[in-house]
């Protein structure tokens, strides 16, 4: 008798491949694949979106599904790592035959997922992660769509113009980002735009994520004496830099994009000089839909605070409309067609309806609200109502 050699192992593998695989899914449900950063560095921003989506879908299924059929939401974690996202996309598309792919992760995962989706002609929806240029008007890629609230192409001009408007004296700008290409590009764009508007940038800082102490970076920034700060990065970098600056005695104003955690964080930091702008209305606006979101989150045992759920909620409602329009029997083509006619009433969470057309898989108008914490009222207040911006490319 001979030892088990590598060759026999190969035989075992071959034999195993003949076994029916547990993954084969019956096509009597809408199969939707998701690759998302559920754990890992980007999870703080992405996981809440997908978890709320899952809760929303579970609720839909409990009420009988869509057009009488369940939605089979297959969620795969990619840890914001491109190779894992690629493997997920391969599995979901080739093995599970999904009719729609959702990607909620860092932009570094987009390349391979886009390639795989296009190879199989499956529509790909970016929900919660930054919107790639291919979804923008006037000629978006037919298969790529994006619903995420923020977009650096629009956010940055809005922010820089807002700073110019709000500033009561000549602006010396300090810019904050992280060493990830999109943040770098954003900060560089901000610098150029600020210069065009007559504002000088005194310092740019790119802070690595695993930093124990933000003070050294803040110290460097203070040397240039900025009176305004603008941050384009995930929330932790935005907020911690601000806090570090404050601790060094900085008294300037700071503007940052309000990511998912921003509302709770504003209350925690409790500083009137920190302003955020966001595409999703904060819960402090107390809209009827916010009550509904809270209830659904509580019922679904959402593991994050309810204030993190807006983006996921919108994604869920959009998915509902898309699949309803796609009808039954559905296919990737029908879903893509339905997506190109999306017209979703956002119930006040966004400044206007979310509209996708054949020429625009992003949106034609972007809306922002501005907020800050008011130490006098001890609550978050709205400093500017919906500012509409045309999306032109």
Q: Which of residues 251-290 bind another protein (CB under 8 A)?
A: 261, 268, 270
Among 29, 87, 337, 391, binds another protein (CB under 8 A): 87
Q: Assess 61 for contact with another protein (CB under 8 A).
A: no
**Which of 40, 65 has the CB closer to another protein?**
40
For the bound state, the minimum distance from the C-beta of residue 66 to another protein, rounded and expressed in Å, comes to 20
3-state percent helix, strand, coil for the chain, nearest multiple of 5: 45, 20, 35
Q: Assess 211 for contact with another protein (CB under 8 A).
A: yes
CA distance 10 to 14: 6
Q: Assess 39 for contact with another protein (CB under 8 A).
A: yes
CA distance 175 to 341: 39
Return the range that interacts with another protein (CB under 8 A); candidates 167-175, 246-254, 368-376, 377-385.
Answer: 246-254
Q: Site mask, another protein, residues 146-185, x = CB under 8 A?
A: ---------------------------------xxxx-xx
CA distance 351 to 386: 6
Preceding omega of 100 cis (within 30 degrees of 0): no
Q: Assess 214 for contact with another protein (CB under 8 A).
A: yes
CA distance 81 to 293: 30
**Which of 181, 288 has the CB closer to another protein?**
181
Preceding omega of 368 cis (within 30 degrees of 0): no
296-332 burial, b for 16+ CB within 10 Å, e for fewer?
Answer: bbeebebebebbbbbbbbbbbbbbbbbbebbeeebeb
Q: Site mask, another protein, residues 100-129, x = CB under 8 A?
A: ------xxxxxxx--x--------------
Return the range that interacts with another protein (CB under 8 A); candidates 63-71, 141-149, 208-216, 349-357.
Answer: 208-216
Among 151, 155, 191, 205, binds another protein (CB under 8 A): 205
First CA to last CA distance, the chain: 71
Q: Assess 52 for contact with another protein (CB under 8 A).
A: no
Q: Assess 140 for contact with another protein (CB under 8 A).
A: no
């Amino acid at each position: 008798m001979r030892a088990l050699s590598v060759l026999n192992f190969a035989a075992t593998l071959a034999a195993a491949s003949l076994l029916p695989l547990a993954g084969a899914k019956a096509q009597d449900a809408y199969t939707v694949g998701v690759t998302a950063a559920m754990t890992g560095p980007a999870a703080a921003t992405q996981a809440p979106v997908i978890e709320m989506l899952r809760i929303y879908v579970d609720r839909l299924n409990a009420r009988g599904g869509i057009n009488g059929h369940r939605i089979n939401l297959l969620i795969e974690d990619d840890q914001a790592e491109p190779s894992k996202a690629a493997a997920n996309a391969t599995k979901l598309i080739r093995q599970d035959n999904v009719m729609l792919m959702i990607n909620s992760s860092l932009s570094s995962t987009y390349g391979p997922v886009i390639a795989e989706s296009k190879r199989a002609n499956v529509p790909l929806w970016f929900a919660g992660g930054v919107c790639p240029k291919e979804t923008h008007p006037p000629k978006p890629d037919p298969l790529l769509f994006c619903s995420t609230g923020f977009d650096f192409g629009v956010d940055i001009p809005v922010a820089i113009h807002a700073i110019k408007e709000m500033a009561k004296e000549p602006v010396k700008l300090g810019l904050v980002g992280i060493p990830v290409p999109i943040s770098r590009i954003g900060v560089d764009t901000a610098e150029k735009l600020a210069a065009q508007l007559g504002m000088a940038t005194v310092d740019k800082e790119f802070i690595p994520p695993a930093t124990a102490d933000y003070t050294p970076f803040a110290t460097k920034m203070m040397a240039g004496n900025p009176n305004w700060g603008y941050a384009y990065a995930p929330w932790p970098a935005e907020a911690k830099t601000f806090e570090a600056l404050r601790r060094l005695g900085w008294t300037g104003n700071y503007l940052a994009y309000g990511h998912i955690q921003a509302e709770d964080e504003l209350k925690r930091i409790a500083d009137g000089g920190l302003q955020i702008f966001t595409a999703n209305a904060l819960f402090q606006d107390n809209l009827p839909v916010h009550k509904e979101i809270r209830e659904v989150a509580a019922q679904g045992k959402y593991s994050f605070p309810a204030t993190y759920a807006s983006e996921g909620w919108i994604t869920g409602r959009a998915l509902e409309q898309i699949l309803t329009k796609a009808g039954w029997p559905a296919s990737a083509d029908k879903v893509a067609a339905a997506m190109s006619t999306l017209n979703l009433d956002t119930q006040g969470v966004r400044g206007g309806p979310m509209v996708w057309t054949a020429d625009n898989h992003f949106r034609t108008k972007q809306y922002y609200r501005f907020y800050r914490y008011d130490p006098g009222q001890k609550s978050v207040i709205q400093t500017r109502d919906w500012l509409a911006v045309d999306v032109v490319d």
